[in-house]
Amino acid sequence: MKVLDVQRVSRSFGPVHALRDVSLAFRAGEVHALMGENGAGKSTLIKALAGVDRPDAGSLMLDGAPVPWGSPSAVQAAGLRFIHQELHPVRGLSVAENMYLDHSYPTRLGLVNWRTLNEKARAALVRLNLGHIDPRAPMSDLGAGDQMLVRIAATLIHDAGEEAPWLYVMDEPTAALTGEESEHLFSVVDELVKRGAGVLYVSHRMPEVLRLSARVSVLRDGEHISTRPLAETDQARIIHDMTGRDLGGLFPSREKPLDPKAAPVLSVRALRAGPLREASFDLAPGEVLGIGGLSGSGRGALLRAILGDLTREGGEVQLDRKNLARHPADVWSQGIAYVPRERASEGLMLGRSITENIALPHLSRFARGGYFLDPRRQTGAADEKGQRVRLKRASLHQPCAELSGGNQQKVLFARALAGKPRVLLLDEPTRGVDIGARFDLYRIIRSLSEEGIAVLLASSDLLELIGLSDRIAIMQEGRLTGIIDADGLTEGSLLAQFYETVDEDQAA
Amino acid sequence: MTGMIRRFGGLLGMVAVIAFFAINLPETFLTARNLLNISQQISMLAVVAVTMTVVMVMGDFDLSVGAMASLAGVVAAMLFLQGWSIPAALAVAIGVGLVGGLFNGVMVSLVGILPFVATLATLTVFSGLAFMISDGRTIFGRDIPEAFGEFARGGPVIGSIDERVLVLPNLTLVAIVVAFLVWVVLEQTSYGRRLYAIGGNREAARLAGLPVVWLRLSAFAFTGIGAAMAGLMYASRVASANPTQGDGLMLTAIAAVFLGMTITRDGQPRVLATLAGVVILGVLDNGLTQMRVDSYVREVLVGAIILLAVGLSALSRHGFSLRRR
Amino acid sequence: MIFRTTLAGAVMAVGLTGTAVAQDVAVITPYLAQPGTQFYVEGFTAQAEELGWTTNVIDTAGDVAAVISRIEDVVTQGVDAIVINVDPAQVGAGLRTAADAGIPVVGMDAGSDPLVAANITSNGYAMAAETAVYVANRISGEGGVVMFTFDPFPPVQVRGVIADAVFANFPDIEVLDRITPDVSDGGIADSRAQMEALLAANPEPGSIAAVWAAWDQPALGALQAIEAAGRAEEGIVITGIDANPQARDAIAQGGNFEASVAQDFQGIGAATADTVARLIAGEELVQRVIYVPTQLVTSANVGE
């Protein structure tokens, strides 16, 4: 059985010790999770393994034979494969061609043999139970999840004389995936392990780690804190190792009970828009209404329909008993704020400063006479809201690209708060956010709700839904089919609700 | 260090160009008269480039400005021929610029055609219109009111050297006013910052509630009006109008904005940086002519300098990202 | 690069002025890419070289406003004289700058202007007279004549005026039509179409005796129309003006296209240099338009 030994690795950047004397061993045939907060040293370790960064000290051994640092090709030859969260698929080429990008195409008489190409690609896909993906389809037809699975299947293709890969390094593989896509990935991981491969699995997502791993290692501040078989550890223990402190529960509880007699701040009746086919509910001031459902059930569509980004085709939406405007610009100004799902592509101007990003929807309010900018008022507001969301930053003029995922998300929260909203629409607010920042966000959501701001929280994270929401709306195939009390729910019972066939159709 | 080079490298390069000419042309280059000449020579380009900056901050651009400049000049000249007064003819010509710009905006923003394609098409349309209404002729001589041609030759007297009066050219004044207004709009109003936001991330801007469609549409009005004004300035300077005379402005204006982008901290288009780009292009033309560099060699040199500046800026950014990785 | 000669005054030149002072002259044109202009400049630089001048030829690639800018630049640089090849009315701003600095400007086929010391060109009146008279003589003063003119462009307009006068002086010559072709594609295609229509309207052999064109392109278009209509044998006489290479070919073939007039472009360039020399020497020019002789081109001398 193959073993990759990382021995006494250290790496520092100036005065910062990114890795201090870390030793770890990764074996074939098991999933080994690597956890830690941002800055714990996970990325540095993975870059060292990938051969793109060279450690200051330490060695890398494959079954006792040294593998040189700083050589991606040596690592490749040693049988490692890296699956990153950022995919760079060639969208215009077919699935099969994408799988053959770093191999030579099979040819006949000097011309590409398309039949063999597609057959080999299909064979590789089928070996990972991915028969649903057509190798001839254009890559652009695939979702992010399938694109990643194609990338993994591509590692099963190797040229003659090349050794088969045995250790897969997956860095936040589910960051851009929906729940359903993630399930596909997990079964592929299971399949790889069954075939004898090892997986080094890096993730912030506790449920995934608990589900997949045989062994969990934790890094903190560049040091190796623990490595334990899954049987000997649990969520609380891992969080303790990661943060160095005990945490009284993941989710801050509600201190101030909701006023049961309060008039709803937001009423939605028979709303229809694009993929959203029907939704009706009332939202009380200060209430957190979770929106749960399988991927593709219309969670995000519901938020976008309220925002006016999806054109409403029917039904009505009232804010404080007045009809809500139909365009995002007006909806924002009426007191609804939105934090989009895709931070980078839908939320932030990554190259622009924190201040600019926070002020974006509120420029007119910060301007003298509505037109002429007042930079002091902008930075003032950005500073105040930044502190409110515990934004960790060097300067307000720093570009957002320099911030961690969690802090980028906080910038979006600060933006939402800067307009003094009545209702907050949150789409996957903690996706790809590390555990420390996640607690900060949970606390912010809780305290906002206690100030009376109503929150619509669409999330694929079941624990998050149960822990934060007062009630949870269940979405199924574009319809809001029911609203249940979050008290006493478990992940399993909530998930069961998602799958439950609703008798509505039969009843009607 | 790379950050410093990136920040100030372009600026240093520009200073070096000016220093080079000052040393090689000690008696003529850095004189008030020559600098005023340069300011007048670049005034039309400045107006086009500065208004082009408005759409370029959104990541769009407008290829039709040169054709619009020609069209506006021809429109005004044809109206002069019909006996219209100068202010009325100019107002109509600028109105044509406004309408043309908004039309570009509609095509790009509402219809959703790529700016390159949409404005390439309107370039052809505007150019064809200019030929249509002028019958392909150059309108000049008595058909152009004297006062119109005189405008470009005059300006407030600001002193005298060697018994020749020194005039601050009217065209320079126009360019300064336009540049100032566009600077205020882009840098000091929420409207301008929203355009920058669209350039930063259009999708994020839309979801943050900005009226992206309207903003993009309206921004193209600036390039239309700017192009029409430059076309009129050109027509006044040559006291004539023909359907192709402004065509060269488009590529040079885009080059000026790109040159300017090499000196901004974040590589974004900015009004003052664009002006710096315009000045450098003007200085190169002026200085190389005075040094008797062959016209064609001059063109090659100017192109090479643009490549050098933009290339160095890209390299320093690339290096920067390598280091971070 | 043949257009730019840098001969810092080492040569003891034997110019018209007899002096040997090195002069610095700028030649500025937006039209250097056009063949005619290249010949002017060649003639000018050859003469300037003999005179020992430093010549700087500046092409603004069609940009007339840039001509003004470059005039300003060379005025700042302090040249001794400026030669332009562009309509002076369009570069008035530059001419005034040069005048303020006391630098003489000479036009090389440019047009007349109070601020241009002299314009050296071909005599358009004389050229038109030559071909019109050629036509009249060839048809023995009688028959139908088709005229191709273009009045919007002044230098061509004067040619038409002269031809009008010549034909009016022959009582038996009838001008069948005075056509202004669409010139946006060079003039050949539309002239051909118009000529075809006229041929159809006058089907009798001999009803059209001659075609007089104010420049070569309409003449070439008319020739194509006549040949296509199968009426080449009727002896219709065609003349053009400018004697461009295509016209010379047609004349050499000995068909209907019989004559054109060649301008002496190189001669204009050389005469421009001579005029600059006279100005620099301090001479007051009385004659502000200087004509360089032209030559009638027929099958007899087309090979030269």
Set of chain C residues whose Cβ sits within 8 Å of the Cβ of B245: 63-65
Q: Would you state the pLDDT for residue A501?
A: 62
B200 to A52: CB separation less than 8 angstroms, yes or no? no
Chains that touch C (3 or more CB pairs under 8 A): B
Set of chain B residues whose Cβ sits within 8 Å of the Cβ of C63: 245, 248
List the single residue in A329, A351, A370 with the smallest CB-CB distance to B211. A329
C64 to B245: CB separation less than 8 angstroms, yes or no? yes
Q: What percent of chain C has pLDDT over 70?
A: 92
Strand ranges, E, within chain C: 24-29, 54-59, 81-84, 105-108, 118-121, 142-148, 172-179, 210-213, 237-239, 257-262, 289-291, 295-297
Asked if residues A201 and A213 have their Cβ atoms less than 8 Å apart, the reply is yes
pTM confidence score: 0.75
Burial class of B80 by CB neighbour count within 10 A (0 to 12, 13 to 18, 19+): buried
Work out the average pLDDT over B240-264. Answer: 90
The string of DSSP letters for A108-143 reads ETTEE-HHHHHHHHHHHHHHTT-TTS-TTSBGGGS-
pLDDT tens-digit profile of B195-229? 988 988 888 888 888 889 999 999 999 999 999 99
- Residue in chain B lying closest to C32 (CA): B295
B295 to C60: CB separation less than 8 angstroms, yes or no? yes
pLDDT at C11 exceeding the cut of 50 = no
Q: Would you state the pLDDT for residue B262?
A: 85
Q: Would you state the pLDDT for residue A249?
A: 65
List the single residue in C6, C63, C92 with the smallest CB-CB distance to B149. C92
Work out the average pLDDT over B260-270. Answer: 84
Name which CATH class applies to C24-121+265-292. Answer: alpha beta
Set of chain C residues whose Cβ sits within 8 Å of the Cβ of B285: 66, 69-70, 73
List the single residue in C56, C61, C87 with the smallest CB-CB distance to B140. C87
Q: Nearest-CA neighbor of B232 among B223, B222, B240, B244?
A: B240
Q: Which residue is listed with tokens 């300003």?
A: C72
Set of chain C residues whose Cβ sits within 8 Å of the Cβ of B236: none
pLDDT tens-digit profile of C47-65? 999 999 999 999 988 888 9
Q: Would you state the pLDDT for residue A71?
A: 85
Token reading at C178: 């005075």
Q: Examine chains A and B and say if they touch (3+ CB pairs below 8 A).
A: yes
Rg (CA), chain A: 25
Distance from the B3 Cα atom to the nearest Cα atom in chain A, whole angstroms: 14
Token reading at C192: 């051909």
What number of other Cβ atoms are within 10 A of residue B291's Cβ? Answer: 16
Which segment of A357-366, C2-11, C238-247 scores lowest on mean pLDDT?
C2-11
**What are residue A82's DSSP bridge partners?**
A169
pLDDT at A75 exceeding the cut of 90 = no
Tell me the pLDDT band of A45, cut-offs 50, 70 and 90: very high
Q: What is the ipTM of this complex?
A: 0.85
C6 to B152: CB separation less than 8 angstroms, yes or no? no
For the CA atoms of A296, A298, A303, A309, the dihedral, rounded to the nearest 10 degrees, stands at: 80
The span from the CA of B31 to the CA of B161, in Å, is 10
Work out the average pLDDT over A131-143. Answer: 87
Tell me the pLDDT band of A462, cut-offs 50, 70 and 90: confident
Tell me the pLDDT band of C253, cut-offs 50, 70 and 90: very high
Q: Would you state the pLDDT for residue A159?
A: 67
Q: Would you state the pLDDT for residue B323?
A: 39
The residue count for chain C: 304
What number of other Cβ atoms are within 10 A of residue B112's Cβ? Answer: 9
Name which CATH class applies to B2-324. Answer: mainly alpha
More confident residue, A505 or A312: A312
Beta-carbon contacts of C225 under 8 Å, excluding residues fewer than 6 positions away, are: C191, C192, C193, C195, C196, C199
Q: Would you state the pLDDT for residue C105?
A: 95
Q: Which amino acid is present at B162?
A: D
How far CA B74 is from CA of B127, B226, C141, C171, C255, in Å, comes to 10, 16, 44, 43, 42
Q: What percent of chain A has pLDDT over 90?
A: 39
Q: Which of B135, B161, B289 to mutate to test the interface with C (most CBs of C within 10 A)?
A: B289
Set of chain B residues whose Cβ sits within 8 Å of the Cβ of A307: 207
Set of chain B residues whose Cβ sits within 8 Å of the Cβ of A412: none
Q: How many CA atoms lie within 13 A of B111 on its CB side?
A: 13
B190 to A352: CB separation less than 8 angstroms, yes or no? no
C77 to B153: CB separation less than 8 angstroms, yes or no? no
Token reading at A141: 């037809």
Q: Would you state the pLDDT for residue B294?
A: 86
The span from the CA of C63 to the CA of B69, in Å, is 13
Domain chopping of chain B, boundaries? 2-324
Beta-carbon contacts of A279 under 8 Å, excluding residues fewer than 6 positions away, are: A268, A270, A271, A298, A302, A305, A315, A473, A475, A479, A480
Work out the average pLDDT over A363-387. Answer: 84
- Residue in chain B lying closest to A52 (CA): B325
pLDDT tens-digit profile of C106-124? 999 888 889 999 999 999 9
pLDDT at C14 exceeding the cut of 60 = no
Token reading at B140: 């000049």
B44 to C65: CB separation less than 8 angstroms, yes or no? yes
Q: Examine chains A and C and say if they touch (3+ CB pairs below 8 A).
A: no
**What are residue C257's DSSP bridge partners?**
C238
Set of chain A residues whose Cβ sits within 8 Å of the Cβ of B205: 349, 360
The answer as to CATH 3.40.50.2300 being correct for domain C124-262 is yes
Q: Would you state the pLDDT for residue B7?
A: 62
Q: Which of C2, C41, C55, C69 to mutate to test the interface with B (most CBs of B within 10 A)?
A: C69
Chains that touch B (3 or more CB pairs under 8 A): A, C
Domain chopping of chain C, boundaries? 24-121+265-292, 124-262
Set of chain C residues whose Cβ sits within 8 Å of the Cβ of B248: 61-63
B209 to A370: CB separation less than 8 angstroms, yes or no? no
Domains and CATH numbers, chain A: 3-243 (3.40.50.300), 269-335+421-508 (3.40.50.300), 346-420 (no CATH)
pLDDT at A39 exceeding the cut of 80 = no
Distance from the A5 Cα atom to the nearest Cα atom in chain B, whole angstroms: 24
Tell me the pLDDT band of C222, cut-offs 50, 70 and 90: very high
The DSSP secondary-structure symbol of C1 reads: -
pLDDT tens-digit profile of C64-114? 899 999 999 999 999 999 999 998 988 988 999 999 999 999 999 888 889
Pairing of strands A314-319, A266-273: antiparallel
How far CA B321 is from CA of A15, A82, A84, A330, in Å, comes to 21, 21, 18, 39
Q: Would you state the pLDDT for residue C271?
A: 95
Work out the average pLDDT over C228-251. Answer: 92
Q: Would you state the pLDDT for residue A245?
A: 63
Set of chain B residues whose Cβ sits within 8 Å of the Cβ of C78: 27-28
Chain C residues at the B interface, defined by Cβ less than 8 Å, are: 1, 4, 6, 32, 54, 56-66, 68-70, 72-74, 76-78, 87, 89-93, 96-97, 100-101, 152-153, 183-184
Instruction: Specify the 3-state DSSP secondary structure of B6.
Output: helix
List the single residue in A351, A359, A372 with the smallest CB-CB distance to B200. A351
pLDDT at B296 exceeding the cut of 90 = no
Set of chain B residues whose Cβ sits within 8 Å of the Cβ of C76: 28, 31, 33-34, 37, 286, 290
A347 to B193: CB separation less than 8 angstroms, yes or no? no
Q: Would you state the pLDDT for residue C7?
A: 38
Chain B residues at the A interface, defined by Cβ less than 8 Å, are: 187-191, 193-194, 196-197, 200-201, 203-211, 266, 268, 325
Chain B residues at the C interface, defined by Cβ less than 8 Å, are: 25, 27-28, 31, 33-34, 37, 40-41, 44, 131, 135-138, 140-141, 149, 152-153, 164, 234, 237-240, 244-245, 248, 285-286, 289-290, 292, 294-296, 299
Instruction: Confirm whether C24-121+265-292 and C124-262 share one CATH topology.
Output: yes
A with B: how many residue pairs have Cβ under 8 Å apart? 84
- Residue in chain B lying closest to C55 (CA): B292
